[in-house]
């Protein structure tokens, strides 16, 4: 006769790949805090493989809503979760979606716990990894914001040792122009590096345009949106990743792959890489912009091809893997005007 099923923890973070990877430190804190529980993560079904690859969750509850909204959790099986944790946002909508399941314990920014001596305070200027680790710490759950690494997947890379250029992004505001990515790719090829271009499932036209403008062979266009294991292997085995502020930049951090990330309109101080020299965040300060806007942000457009190429070539160096990690606070190239 089988024993009783384990208690369950439901975590809500139904956002994108970058959000998932930025939330890994918090998810691992939850995993360690509830070792005998079944940890279920509510997020889009397309991210199931990525979520399980973090090693911090046991299962996924498919859940998503348009425009980074709060999804319904109607797919939750019978019975309330023992613990429900809102890592989705700080508003009542995400709290209420979890509260509707009548969890025995609910942790949320929008759910004041009178037993907390120092309840968590949402600060808009806080880095995403620090925010959620601090939130958990207020509830007595230890989480390390630097705990971001993922294991190298067993899947073979489709382009080992290449420089990966990823021109896509969820919104046009964070999408550097195709002709600039192509100019960067030409510079890197001229320096003797293999360059491959990748994109998401709906970005084939963009991948083709960048590859055509850069003069890349057909085999260096990775279209169609790679499955996560193959995409993860590609980034893990790359010499360098160049992208905008999108999920692949976080994947480079997870695999300690050198990266150049082009930021705008959101500052890297909110979503950027850890403070190690192998990651360069190019950023031009300016008036706040809309990260979900329908045209490239003015700050992003102030980053030129020559600046991005110089950063990439400096990281590639004579041996192709960039400088060794070093401690210290990040020195984003944020004051370059």
Q: Apex CA 129: angle with CA 112 and CA 270, to 5°?
A: 100
pLDDT at 17 over 90: yes
Q: What is the pTM of this model?
A: 0.92
Q: Provide the b/e sequence for 122-148 (b: ≥16 CB within 10 Å).
A: eeeeebbbbbbbbbbebbebebebebb
Query: What b-and-e string marks burial along 78-91, b requiring 16 or more CB atoms within 10 Å of the CB?
Result: eeebbbbbbbbbbe
Q: Is the pLDDT of residue 254 over 80?
A: yes
Report pLDDT digits (tens) over 208-250. Answer: 999 999 999 999 999 999 999 999 999 999 999 999 999 999 9
Q: What is the pLDDT of residues 167-184, one digit of tens each?
A: 999 999 999 999 999 999
**pLDDT tens by residue, 44-92:** 999 999 999 999 999 999 999 998 999 999 999 989 999 999 999 999 9
Structure-token pair, residue 77: 């099986």
């Amino acid at each position: 006769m089988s024993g009783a099923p384990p208690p369950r923890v439901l975590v809500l973070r139904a956002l994108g790949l970058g959000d998932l990877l930025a939330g890994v430190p918090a998810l691992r804190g939850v995993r360690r805090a509830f070792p005998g529980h079944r940890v279920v993560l509510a997020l889009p079904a397309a991210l199931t493989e990525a979520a399980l690859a973090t090693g911090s969750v046991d299962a996924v509850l498919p859940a998503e809503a348009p425009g980074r909204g709060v999804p319904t959790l109607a797919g939750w099986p019978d019975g309330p979760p023992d613990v429900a944790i809102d890592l989705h946002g700080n508003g009542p909508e995400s709290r209420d979606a979890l509260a509707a399941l009548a969890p025995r314990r609910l942790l949320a920014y929008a759910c004041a716990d009178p037993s907390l001596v120092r309840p968590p305070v949402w600060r808009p200027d806080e880095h995403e990894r620090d925010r959620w680790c601090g939130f958990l710490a207020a509830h007595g759950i230890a989480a390390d914001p630097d705990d971001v690494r993922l294991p190298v997947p067993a899947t073979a890379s489709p382009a080992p040792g290449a420089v990966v250029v990823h021109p896509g992004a969820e919104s046009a505001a964070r999408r550097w122009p195709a002709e600039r990515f192509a100019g960067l790719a030409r510079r890197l090829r001229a320096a003797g590096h293999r360059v491959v271009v990748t994109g998401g499932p709906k970005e084939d036209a963009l991948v083709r345009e960048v590859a055509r403008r850069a003069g890349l062979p057909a085999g260096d266009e990775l279209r169609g949106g790679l499955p996560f294991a193959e995409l993860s292997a590609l980034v893990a085995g790359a010499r360098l990743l160049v992208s905008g502020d999108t999920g692949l930049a976080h994947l480079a951090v997870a695999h300690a792959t050198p990266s150049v990330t082009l930021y705008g309109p959101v500052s890297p101080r909110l979503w950027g890489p850890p403070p190690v020299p192998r990651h360069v965040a190019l950023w031009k300060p300016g008036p706040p912009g809309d990260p979900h806007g329908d045209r490239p942000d003015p700050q992003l457009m102030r980053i030129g091809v020559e600046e991005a190429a110089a950063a990439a070539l400096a990281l590639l160096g004579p041996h192709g893997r960039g400088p060794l990690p070093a401690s210290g606070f990040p020195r984003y190239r944020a004051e370059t005007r």
